[in-house]
Structure 1
Amino acid sequence: MYSIREKEKDSEVLREAQGSLGQECHDIAEQPPLARWQPELLWHYTFTSSTSDFREVLGVPEPTKGSRVLYILVSRKLKPITELHGEELFDVWRQCILCHVTLWKEGVYHRDVSPANMKWYRKDGKRIGISNDYDFSSLADDLGPRGNERTGTVPFMAIDFLTEEGQRGEVKHLYRHDLESFMWVFIWVCLRYREAVLLPTGSRPFDNWATINAVACGKEKHHFLSNLKDRYLWGVDKYMGHFVVKCVIMLQQNDQHRVSRCIELLAERILNQGATEQSNDEEPEDIDGFLQMFTTMPSWVKLTELSNPSQ
């Protein structure tokens, strides 16, 4: 399959000599175990002229921020994660997390976790899950600004970003935000699909999350976390349903911790009048520790065993 994309010229064009960002990710991950989790980029081509020429011919106004270039990517045909269900869904979803966290540690920050960017294929009879589409990602050594940009797909964004502050770019994008997005993806797919078939309109939750604004979606997520309904889980495999509930509990705890931290910062500002508020820019991040909160859950371990009986 192939895709044709536009990209802003600033930091992306600085990478042009090396090819697309997807190719750079492959270069970074050329050694096992990362290699198998990378989208297999077969060929790419960057047009020498920017899309300004096309816009001029079509009478389309230039973007307000940055100029853009056009390029073509050709890669292995990948299948969407929504074609899977039960233990197979969990297995590919789990592999996408492992792919993502390994790349993050190597300095590749995806920052747009969604079902559309989680793919899989079969190789030697095994399912291989990959985190795909690096349009919103950045590299640790980028020369341009990064870290607090407002990126992502609204229904799956971490709650920290679904606030006025988050939408203004005042929240730094950390690993835990992407991991939270993975949890929202799992909940979304499990509760909206049965046997890999999308439920009919009116019988599936979250439809409005894709149409309302980001702040409103954040409020909807808060409501969902405190009002999980039994009917949402009808027809869901018992182990998958149990893990969904555990994910909700973990997200609740994470949200409560965030609220408590905000209150603590408020108390500190009152005691230290005039001092600059500490943001999550300075928070040390224990990536392995945060991920292990999920991977050590009995329901995670059980589904891992069921999806890989030979291991």
Structure 2
Amino acid sequence: MSPAGETGTSSTPPRANASNQGGSKIEFTPYSRGASVISENISLVGVQVKEVRPWIQRDIEQAKQCKADAMLQALLQRASCAPCAPKTKQPELLQKCLKGVLPVCNGQVSNGTVAKIFWGEAGRTSEPKILDKVEEITKVHPTVEGHIPELFWCHAFTNSACAIREALGVPESSMSSRMLYILVFRRLYPITKLNGKDLFDVWRQCILCHLTLWKEGVHHRDISPGSLLWYRKNGRLIGVLNDYDLSSLANAVGPQGNERTGTVPFMALDLLTKEGQQGKAKYLYRHDLESFMWVFAWICFRYRQGVLLLRRSRPLDEWATSHAIACGVKKLAFLTNLSHYLPADFRTSQSTIDLSLLALLVDCFRVLQAANSNRADDMYHNLVVELGWMEGTYEQIDAEETVSDMDDFLGKFTGTKAWVKLSNTLPL
């Protein structure tokens, strides 16, 4: 989930697999809105909600878009229609949904917690199960312990989207179903509130936690500003890797390998292509690590001292309003001409830490550019061999990554002069 106002627009960055439909009575955009229809339509069934707290409203609005959201809106609207209600299961289904949602909307969760309401794919390993696996990993890996969200309570509704669609007579009930989940977590703070070496420290901790989880078989697959959070402990900021609703387990059975997931502005360039969006590129660790780099640039270019800059001072906004392939083109232009996008104050800043962050950005994107260039060379080599223009060996670009491959790729970033310099400023 991205923090409120993350894009500076009324919507959050589009998910790669978000719906993009129009022309029906129930209209929605390709951007993430999630289950906000719950709070917006409660009044339709005569239920009075005195207060929808800002934090739960934010989390509802940031949940990912799916057809089930439109289905729920239809459910609420039709169930409030007297002529059709008595002879259907609509009232029963509606009450089951509202019974779980209303206590949260009415604030029956303490101020130290935050609730997440979203529709998850029934065939995908659920976020609570992913977190169970993550919890096991914390027992043996200090890079993960304390760096994961603390789940207090969760509930999954037994009535799936298919069951509700069937009861309503909504078409496409044969589609893959979704389940409505409510999860209550300890409240944390968004990484966009940080700057300077604190920003680098929390970001770096999340990267190290992510690497360990990936090696242990938990593949996050949706790195964005909203998935990087923090809290304070004994005077030190502790980074937390959050949001596992699009994650997968390496040993999971089912179609969880190549399907495109992620938040478009932060996805790796390999995945923002026609082939990548069609699932023809295997999702690898390096794709998530590249997402960390795009997140760092996003924050550095759009925030100052934890405050979102004015629109005219934010050069990357268009990433959030472009479809996947167009966004990839824009990000490639950024990668090859970073200096063109530098905010004016970065050019004139006398702050040592600002200059250190700028140096880190330059070093990291240099590494990315070199990696992309090397893969492009491999692709050209394969094409020449395939066409028979020269003899050689066909190289599998999307081959399985080894642990050594992961360490080597991360090492290209951690070994840069700027990374080492910033690391030396952090407490031991």
Note whether the superposition's TM-score is higher than 0.5: yes
Structure 1 counterpart SS, 2:208: helix
Q: CA deviation at 1:121?
A: 0.9
Q: CA deviation at 1:193?
A: 1.1
Given candidates 364, 378, 394, the residue that maps to 1:247 is: 364
Q: Which amino acid aligns with 1:239?
A: S
Q: Which amino acid aligns with 2:133?
A: E
- Equivalence for 2:131: 22
Given candidates 162, 181, 186, the residue that maps to 2:272 is: 162
Equivalent residue runs for 1:71-86 within 5 Å: 71-86=181-196
Once residues 134 and 168 of structure 2 are traced to their aligned partners in structure 1, the CA distance between those partners, rounded to angstroms, is: 34
- Equivalence for 1:7: 120
Verify the 8 A CA contact 2:188 2:231 in the aligned structure 1: yes
- Equivalence for 2:300: 190
- Which one scores higher on RCO, CA 8 angstroms, separation ≥ 6? 1
Once residues 225 and 267 of structure 2 are traced to their aligned partners in structure 1, the CA distance between those partners, rounded to angstroms, is: 12
Q: Which structure has the bigger radius of gyration?
A: 2
Are 1:67 and 2:184 counterparts?
no
Q: CA deviation at 1:149?
A: 1.1
Once residues 119 and 244 of structure 1 are traced to their aligned partners in structure 2, the CA distance between those partners, rounded to angstroms, is: 20
Once residues 341 and 123 of structure 2 are traced to their aligned partners in structure 1, the CA distance between those partners, rounded to angstroms, is: 48
Once residues 168 and 146 of structure 2 are traced to their aligned partners in structure 1, the CA distance between those partners, rounded to angstroms, is: 41
Structure 1 counterpart SS, 2:136: helix
Verify the 8 A CA contact 1:45 1:73 in the aligned structure 2: yes
Once residues 361 and 174 of structure 2 are traced to their aligned partners in structure 1, the CA distance between those partners, rounded to angstroms, is: 41
Verify the 8 A CA contact 1:156 1:184 in the aligned structure 2: yes
Q: CA deviation at 1:140?
A: 1.0
Once residues 408 and 245 of structure 2 are traced to their aligned partners in structure 1, the CA distance between those partners, rounded to angstroms, is: 28
Equivalent residue runs for 1:10-159 within 5 Å: 10-12=123-125, 19-33=128-142, 34-55=144-165, 61-62=171-172, 65-159=175-269
Segments of 4+ in structure 1 off by > 6 A?
A: none
Q: Which amino acid aligns with 2:361?
A: V
Once residues 43 and 139 of structure 1 are traced to their aligned partners in structure 2, the CA distance between those partners, rounded to angstroms, is: 22
Given candidates 276, 281, 303, the residue that maps to 2:422 is: 303
Q: CA deviation at 1:23?
A: 2.9
Verify the 8 A CA contact 2:190 2:226 in the aligned structure 1: yes
Given candidates 228, 245, 257, the residue that maps to 2:374 is: 257
Q: CA deviation at 1:72?
A: 1.8
Q: CA deviation at 1:153?
A: 0.8
Q: CA deviation at 1:284?
A: 4.2
Residue deviations 1:144-176 (CA, integer Å, cap 9, x gap): 122211111111111001111101110001111
Q: CA deviation at 1:59?
A: 6.8
Once residues 264 and 303 of structure 2 are traced to their aligned partners in structure 1, the CA distance between those partners, rounded to angstroms, is: 19
Once residues 59 and 272 of structure 1 are traced to their aligned partners in structure 2, the CA distance between those partners, rounded to angstroms, is: 59
Once residues 265 and 180 of structure 1 are traced to their aligned partners in structure 2, the CA distance between those partners, rounded to angstroms, is: 24
Once residues 47 and 126 of structure 1 are traced to their aligned partners in structure 2, the CA distance between those partners, rounded to angstroms, is: 38
Distance verdict in 2 for CA 1:296–1:105, change over 3 Å: same
Q: CA deviation at 1:92?
A: 0.5
Distance verdict in 2 for CA 1:51–1:91, change over 3 Å: same
Distance verdict in 2 for CA 1:298–1:50, change over 3 Å: same
Verify the 8 A CA contact 2:130 2:218 in the aligned structure 1: no
Are 1:224 and 2:334 counterparts?
yes
- Equivalence for 2:20: none
Once residues 260 and 218 of structure 1 are traced to their aligned partners in structure 2, the CA distance between those partners, rounded to angstroms, is: 19
Once residues 191 and 209 of structure 1 are traced to their aligned partners in structure 2, the CA distance between those partners, rounded to angstroms, is: 13
Distance verdict in 2 for CA 1:164–1:136, change over 3 Å: same
Once residues 175 and 299 of structure 2 are traced to their aligned partners in structure 1, the CA distance between those partners, rounded to angstroms, is: 34
Structure 1 counterpart SS, 2:251: coil
Given candidates 176, 180, 187, the residue that maps to 2:290 is: 180
Task: Quote the sequence identity (%).
Answer: 50
Of stretches 281-290 and 215-224 in structure 1, the one that deviates more from structure 2 is: 281-290
Once residues 166 and 256 of structure 2 are traced to their aligned partners in structure 1, the CA distance between those partners, rounded to angstroms, is: 30
Q: Give the TM-score, by structure 1 length.
A: 0.90
Once residues 137 and 265 of structure 1 are traced to their aligned partners in structure 2, the CA distance between those partners, rounded to angstroms, is: 32
Q: CA deviation at 1:297?
A: 1.0
Indicate the RMSD between aligned Cα atoms, in angstroms: 2.4
Once residues 128 and 143 of structure 1 are traced to their aligned partners in structure 2, the CA distance between those partners, rounded to angstroms, is: 33
Once residues 226 and 168 of structure 2 are traced to their aligned partners in structure 1, the CA distance between those partners, rounded to angstroms, is: 29
Unmatched 5+ residue regions in structure 1? Answer: none
Once residues 66 and 191 of structure 1 are traced to their aligned partners in structure 2, the CA distance between those partners, rounded to angstroms, is: 39
Residue deviations 1:218-239 (CA, integer Å, cap 9, x gap): 1111211222236614334110
Distance verdict in 2 for CA 1:281–1:229, change over 3 Å: closer
Q: CA deviation at 1:60?
A: 5.5
Size of the aligned set, in residue pairs, is 304
Once residues 36 and 83 of structure 1 are traced to their aligned partners in structure 2, the CA distance between those partners, rounded to angstroms, is: 20
Once residues 180 and 281 of structure 2 are traced to their aligned partners in structure 1, the CA distance between those partners, rounded to angstroms, is: 30
Once residues 62 and 131 of structure 1 are traced to their aligned partners in structure 2, the CA distance between those partners, rounded to angstroms, is: 35
Structure 2 counterpart SS, 1:49: coil
